[in-house]
Amino acid sequence: MTTNYQLRRVDFIFKNENDWEEVLSKSISRTPQELINELISSELKGRGGAGFPTGLKWKLSSEAVDDIKYVICNADEGEPGTFKDREILSRVPFKVLTAMAVCGHVIGAKEGYIYLRGEYFFLQPELKKAISEFEYFCKEINLDFKIRIFMGSGAYICGEETALFESMEGKRGEPRNKPPYPSSYGYMGKPTVINNVETLAHTFTIFKYGAKRFYDLGVQYSRGSKLFSVSGDTPKPGIYELELGMSLADFVDEFGDGDTKAVQVGGASGFLVPRKRFGETAIGFQGKLTGISLPTGGSMMLFNSSRSMFNVLDNYLEFFREESCGQCTPCRVGCQQLLKGIKAVKRGEKNAHYLDKLLRLTETMQLTAKCGLGQSVANSFSSIVENFREEMIY
Amino acid sequence: MHPVSELIKNLADQHGRERRNLLPILQGVVEQEKYLSEFSMIEIARELDLPAAEVYGTATFYSFLEYKKMGKYIIRVCKTITCSMKGKNQIMLAIEDMLKISAGETTPDGNFSLLQTNCLGFCHKAPAMLINNEIYTELTPEKVREILSSYLEKKGGLYDN
């Protein structure tokens, strides 16, 4: 089965940002309610991977009553296979800074932070320059908003929003229990909006052109465009802005090397889709009317038939075992046991039925792990083991 | 005053002495010293009036905050899936062969440490590595040898102290 939907390139995110001063001035002259409505009608959903409606996020924080609130830009881009946020921050930083200030205006925050992963330390000088130019303009138009960079230090889990707050508070990056949610209890216990870099860049587009331009792109439940980080066995690795809702078959037609065996959608914490399911898989957020629809932070890794899926899974599990914060038992012990388990099956120390026990373990992790890391190990594990079982055994 | 104590005091003056200033201070020490010694962690605890165990617990959580003595140049080769598929092992071999150390080790002259790290976010230009904060991408064994040679020249030779 193939869809008649064609892959459509879009050019919003990296389009010039020369008019950011105008967009900022115009936006802060509008009421918070107007801006929230604009976002809600655009149906923009978070571009970090989780897909929470951005307008609702801003609305909840704007309703929280507190003198101090924060806006945080999550630039702890650590998911294997994603590299779009760095490109946004280095090519169109003023879009992100403008969006942060507009968010500050909407929710009543005077301080913003960019949590930048330690691996991107080299972005700092340019970004600092942009921030000081930005703050200079804010002063000119009497907008009281400060932006600082907070550096991470090499911890994947800090991309989880509450772990990120803990990290900024000077602690181990261990996720908190939810609720309370960041909109009422975020950084330093204050109401906080935390958005992915790309989400903020899209709000710039929406404030500049209006919600309709954005809403007209994409499909139901998955409006707008999205940056895709394309890597692996492809003749054209790189970053591409595409409309949401595309079929994976069309994607592979465009980016595959003619021998694509499987695509990992959404990084190590996402799903592996084998060739036989390309046609029935769409890229976007899950809705009641769509078929199989996979959300993604934009990581698309292609594997051709020369690749061993055992090695792929082994690499992911090693990653998760190292990056698990160790706080909750299902994730800490689960990741270790999964890795040991697949190696034991491969070596013939355990029989093939042991894989089913491991699958049940991932179900337990999905139900009981405290945060998205432990819960999502099941995604790649089950999609690889179920589709490439023989490669796990022989 | 011990130079590290002075560095810590300056960092605390610059960033503040609240708990939320801990990470920038730890990062500042690592930038200068390349790692956090027990002495540094105790000094930071004293300066911020925190239990030393809290400082240790926080510092050891983060993979870029080393707590073992490291070389002047820390090489971090990405080992996550795409870099791994695109020849990470050959890159490691080239470096090991040139510096005569294995992953996790430091050269006897204290100039280079070799580590592997998780996704650096350069999957489209794999394989990739960091040397301190500099990024190098689309590596080949030849390219790696050239890069390391330029660092060795900076040092005036492999065994120069």
Q: What distance lies between CA B88 and its chain's CA centroid?
A: 19
In a domain, A296, yes or no: no
The structure tokens 């972005």 sit at A123
Residue A314 lies in a domain: yes
Residue B65 lies inside a defined structural domain of this protein:
no
Confidence band, pLDDT 50/70/90 cuts, at residue A4: very low
- What pLDDT digit, counting tens, does each position of A348-360 carry? 999 999 999 999 9
Residues B151 and B78 in one domain: yes
- The three-state secondary structure class of A299 is strand
Does the beta-carbon distance from A268 to B81 stay under 8 Å?
yes
- Check CB contact under 8 Å for A231 and B123: yes
Which tens digit of pLDDT belongs to each residue from A187-215? 999 999 999 999 999 999 999 999 999 99
Q: Which residues of A touch B133 (CB under 8 A)?
A: 121-122
Residue A154 lies in a domain: yes
Count of domains forming chain A: 2
For residue A129, what are the CA distances in angstroms to A95, A124, A125, A300? 14, 9, 6, 32
Average pLDDT, chain B: 95
Q: Are A100 and A112 in contact (CB under 8 A)?
A: yes
Contacts of B117 in chain A (CB under 8 A): 119, 154
Q: Among B59, B88, B104, where does a domain finish? A: B59
H or E element, residue B156:
none
Q: Looking at the predicted structure, is the pLDDT value of residue A241 above 80? A: yes
Convert the pLDDT of each residue in A323-338 to its tens digit: 999 999 999 999 999 9
Both B88 and B115 in one domain: the answer is yes
In a shared domain, residues B35 and B99: no
B87 and B146, same domain (yes or no): yes
Tell me the CATH number at B77: 3.40.30.10
Instruction: Render pLDDT for A368-392 as a digit per residue (tens, 0 to 9).
Output: 999 999 999 999 999 999 999 999 9
d(CA A268, CA B119) in angstroms, rounded, equals: 11
For this complex, say whether ipTM is above 0.90.
yes
Distance from CA of A119 to the nearest CA of B (A): 6
- From chain A, the residues in CB contact with B136 under 8 A are none
- B134/B84 same-domain check: yes
Q: Are residues A59 and A173 in the same domain?
A: yes
B54 lies in the same domain as B91 = no
- Show the domain range for A95: 20-215
> Of A146, A180, A215, which marks where a domain is finished?
A215
* Structural domain harbouring B144: 73-155
Q: Tell me which of A181, A215, A249 is where a domain ends.
A: A215
pLDDT at B161 over 50: no
B18 chain-A contacts, CB cut-off 8 A = 170
Q: How many domains does chain B have?
A: 2
Q: Verify that B77 and B148 share a domain, yes or no.
A: yes
In a domain, A1, yes or no: no
CATH number for the domain that contains residue A330: 1.20.1440.230
Find the CB nearest A232 among B22, B85, B135. B85
- The answer to whether residue B94 sits within a structural domain is yes
For residue A228, pLDDT over 60 is answered with yes
User: Mind listing the pLDDT tens digit for each residue in A67-123?
Assistant: 999 999 999 999 999 999 999 999 999 999 999 999 999 999 999 999 999 999 999
- Whether B28 maps to a domain, the answer reads yes
If asked whether residues B31 and B97 sit together in one domain, one would say no
Peptide bond into B127 cis (omega under 30): yes
What proportions of chain B, in percent to the nearest 5, are helix, strand and coil? Answer: 50, 10, 35
**DSSP state, residue A156:** G
Residue A172 lies in a domain: yes
Inter-residue contact B124 to A239 (CB < 8 Å): yes
Q: Are residues A321 and A197 in the same domain?
A: no
Angle at the Cα of A299 from the Cα atoms of A387 and A358, rounded to 5 degrees:
35
Q: Is A271 exposed, middle or buried, given 0-12, 13-18 or 19+ CB atoms closer than 10 A?
A: buried
In a domain, residue A71? The reply is yes
Tokens read off for B101:
């150390």
For residue A242, what are the β-bridge partners? A9, A226
Q: Is residue B161 part of a domain?
A: no
What are the Cα distances from residue A28, in Å, to A40, A42, A92?
Answer: 17, 18, 20
pTM of this prediction? Answer: 0.95
Is the Cβ pair A307, B85 closer than 8 Å?
yes
Q: How many CB pairs under 8 A join A and B?
A: 121
